[in-house]
Structure 1
Amino acid sequence: MYGWIWRHLPGPLPVRIFEALLLISAVVALLLFVVFPWIEPRLPFNQVTTG
């Protein structure tokens, strides 16, 4: 999968590296600011009880 993405990035090597870093940053930002906050209340780790 990563090879397919790398082969389809346009430009010479420095531009490809910059684009790959930009894509990785976008995915991390999407996960941190959208996906993880959405899924956090649905996880069972918040219902901790001690008896």
Structure 2
Amino acid sequence: MYAWIWRRLPGEWPTKLATALGVIIAVGAIFWYAVFPWVEPKVQFDHGVVDHPTPSTSAPRS
């Protein structure tokens, strides 16, 4: 699949590389600024809260 995309990009390899990097950066920015903020309220996270068992009140260890 990636070879098929690479062959379809215009120009020699430096132009293909610049075009591919530009597309990757653009897609990443779309995800970062549009998709992730839209999805975030729909997904429930614990926000780093970890429930640790409380220490027992038994006799201290020696």
User: Which TM-score band (shorter chain)?
Assistant: 0.7 to 0.9
Q: What is the TM-score when the length of structure 2 is the normalising length? A: 0.68
Q: Return the offset for 1:4.
A: 2.0
Rg: which structure is higher? 2
Unaligned runs of 5+ in 1: none
Unaligned runs of 5+ in 2: 52-62
Instruction: Give structure 1 regions of 4+ aligned residues with deviation exceeding 6 angstroms.
Output: none
- Structural mapping, 1:19-30, within 5 Å: 19-30=19-30
Q: Distance in 1 between matches of 2:23 and 2:46?
A: 32
Partner secondary structure for residue 45 of structure 2: helix
- Count how many residue pairs are aligned between Structure 1 and Structure 2: 49
Q: Which has the higher contact order (CA 8 A, sep 6+)?
A: 1
Q: What is the TM-score when the length of structure 1 is the normalising length? A: 0.81
RMSD: 1.8
Higher relative helix content:
1
Identical-residue share of aligned pairs (%): 49
AA partner of residue 43 (structure 1): V
